[in-house]
């Protein structure tokens, strides 16, 4: 009789299926790099305590309408075993996200949309931030060893490198609206090439006045040389280089117009009329209403945040933002900071918000590192907490937050306090990043040259304070009831 093959995680998969409420409770299932992602018909049927006792499970949390189970790097193997024992066919990530929307409130849906628009742009923005940081060192930092001159002033080679690197730097930041309108079209399931064309029409270097030149160009010059004259009215030929909100609004108008016309134009002529009736009205709206409004709104939002970062009580703004960023991650509100960071870079040449985000990631990683240190002899807890620490130090805090810190509360609070102190010091010393970078410890690579030294010290604060506080809270029993109850339950 042939021996039945048993998958590596077959038993754990069966246990998870039962604890999650059975096959009938699962609307959709997929996985990402480390997590199983479920859309459940009734999340109340999921027995979280039983699920987290399964040996291969490192934690659970709910985000964006999905019940997520942290497995680790072997999640593809677990996923295969789960689909085999459950008889449920997995779906794509996009299909799972679509199914999850029924579990989201309107704010969560907006945050999810922002995340899905900006996430595909992050690799380019991060590269751009690193390029600007490197160029800042080459051309903006005088060295005593060079007689008080910068590297580009004494080296033809590095001057050439500096000039060459502006090619991708300009492409990433000045032409960011093209990426945004493309990403909006991609997310909305509409014609991506139309999104690209619309983006180009927002930043055309030949036909539009560059956004960076608007402030230095007189109103008379704009009226004489930078308008489309239609006889009885004119429209300004203003570019939207690096502008986030105008591009976002323009891209959404294009997508919704295309979706609308698809419903009413017969398919036999849709190829002709749908693109034309979507692109041209969207372009008109972009340069007459949405662009100017988006510019005003973006600069207003940027000004408010900048006032917080540089005003008389900037230390308080930094402390509050530092404390609240980790809770923002839990709720999904942190996705809005990508747009604010990008707007700050466009308006001021740098962002003081992003350094605090990097420090918050470090602080939460340090809190879970302390938890690892206290539980290093417990193989299961050590495995979960150490992997979560590494992930947080590299800028991905969800495993740390949901696997340990939020679950046991006191490490989460310790991380928030450490992040708050680091945020206070960040704004006190006006630490500024070139752009969004790699969160966590690699974040120092995106910090502007004059602030690298102080940011290194702030990283030390974000490491030491949460680490010490987490151990201290555990010793005095502050906010440890959840863990105490778990330990008592295990003892019994």
- C-alpha dihedral (451, 453, 457, 463), degrees to nearest 10: 80
Are the beta carbons of 410 and 479 closer than 8 angstroms? yes
Alpha-carbon distance 113 to 99, whole Å? Answer: 14
Integer Cα distance of 37 and 32 in angstroms:
7
Over the range 91-115, which residues count as b (16 or more CB within 10 Å of their CB) and which as e?
beeeebbebbeebbeeebeebbbbb
Tokens of 85: 């024992």
Q: Supply 4's token pair.
A: 């039945």
Q: Report yes or no: 164 and 248 within 8 Å, Cβ to Cβ.
A: no
Q: Any catalytic annotation for residue 201?
A: no
Q: Residues 244, 260: contact at Cβ < 8 Å?
A: no
The answer to whether the CB of 380 falls within 8 A of the CB of 443 is: no
The Cα 129–Cα 433 span in angstroms is 8
Q: Find the angle CA(272)-CA(195)-CA(279) to the nearest 5 degrees.
A: 40
d(CA 286, CA 184): 15
Number of C-alpha atoms within 13 angstroms, CB side, residue 332?
Answer: 20
Beta bridge partners of 227: 236
Hey, which residues does 63 pair with through a beta bridge? 66
From first CA to last CA, the distance across the chain in angstroms is 43
Q: Which two tokens stand for residue 101?
A: 């929307």
Q: Which of 8, 23, 32, 331 does the annotation list as catalytic? A: 32
- Nearest of 371, 378, 367, 375 to residue 55 by alpha carbon: 378
Q: Known catalytic residues? A: 32
């Amino acid at each position: 009789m042939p021996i039945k093959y048993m998958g590596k995680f077959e038993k754990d998969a069966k246990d998870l299926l039962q604890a999650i409420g059975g096959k009938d409770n699962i609307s959709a299932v997929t996985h990402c790099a480390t997590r199983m992602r479920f859309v459940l018909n009734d999340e109340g049927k999921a027995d979280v305590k039983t699920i987290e006792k399964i040996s291969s499970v490192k934690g659970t949390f709910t985000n964006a309408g999905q019940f997520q189970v942290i497995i680790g790097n072997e999640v593809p193997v677990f996923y295969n075993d789960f689909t085999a024992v459950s008889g449920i066919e997995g779906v794509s990530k996009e299909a799972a996200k679509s199914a999850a929307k029924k579990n989201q409130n309107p704010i969560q849906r907006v945050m999810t949309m922002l995340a899905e628009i900006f996430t595909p742009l992050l690799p380019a923005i991060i590269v751009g931030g690193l390029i600007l940081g490197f160029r800042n060192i080459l051309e903006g930092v005088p060295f005593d060893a060079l007689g008080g001159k910068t590297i580009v002033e004494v080296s033809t080679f590095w001057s050439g490198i500096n000039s060459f690197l502006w090619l991708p730097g300009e492409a990433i930041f000045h032409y960011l609206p093209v990426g945004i309108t493309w990403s909006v079209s991609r997310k909305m399931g509409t014609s991506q090439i139309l999104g690209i064309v619309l983006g180009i029409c927002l930043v055309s270097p030949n036909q539009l006045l560059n956004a960076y030149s608007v402030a230095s160009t007189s109103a008379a010059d704009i009226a004489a040389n930078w308008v489309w004259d239609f006889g009885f009215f004119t429209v300004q030929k203003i570019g939207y280089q690096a502008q986030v909100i105008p591009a976002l609004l323009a891209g959404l108008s294009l997508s919704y117009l295309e979706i609308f016309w698809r419903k009413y134009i017969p398919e036999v002529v849709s190829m002709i009329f749908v693109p034309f009736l979507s692109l041209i009205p969207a372009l008109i709206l972009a340069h007459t209403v949405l662009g100017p409004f988006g510019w005003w709104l973006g600069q207003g939002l940027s000004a408010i945040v900048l006032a917080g970062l540089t005003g008389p009580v900037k230390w308080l703004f930094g402390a509050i933002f530092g404390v609240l960023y980790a809770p923002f991650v839990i709720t999904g509100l942190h996705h809005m900071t990508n747009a604010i960071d990008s707007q700050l870079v466009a308006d001021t040449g740098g962002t003081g918000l992003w350094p605090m985000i990097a420090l918050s990631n470090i602080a939460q990683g340090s809190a879970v590192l302390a938890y690892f240190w206290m539980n290093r002899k417990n193989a299961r807890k050590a495995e979960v907490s150490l992997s979560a620490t590494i992930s947080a130090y590299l800028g991905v805090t969800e495993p740390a937050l949901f696997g340990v810190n939020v679950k046991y509360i006191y490490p989460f609070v310790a991380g928030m306090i450490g992040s708050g102190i680091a945020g206070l010091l960040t704004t006190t010393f006006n630490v500024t990043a070139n752009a969004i970078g790699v969160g966590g410890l690699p974040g120092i690579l995106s910090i502007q040259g004059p602030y690298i030294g102080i940011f290194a010290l702030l990283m030390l604060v974000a490491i030491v304070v949460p680490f010490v506080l987490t151990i201290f809270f555990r010793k005095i029993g502050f906010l440890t009831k959840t863990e105490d109850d778990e330990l008592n339950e295990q003892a019994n």
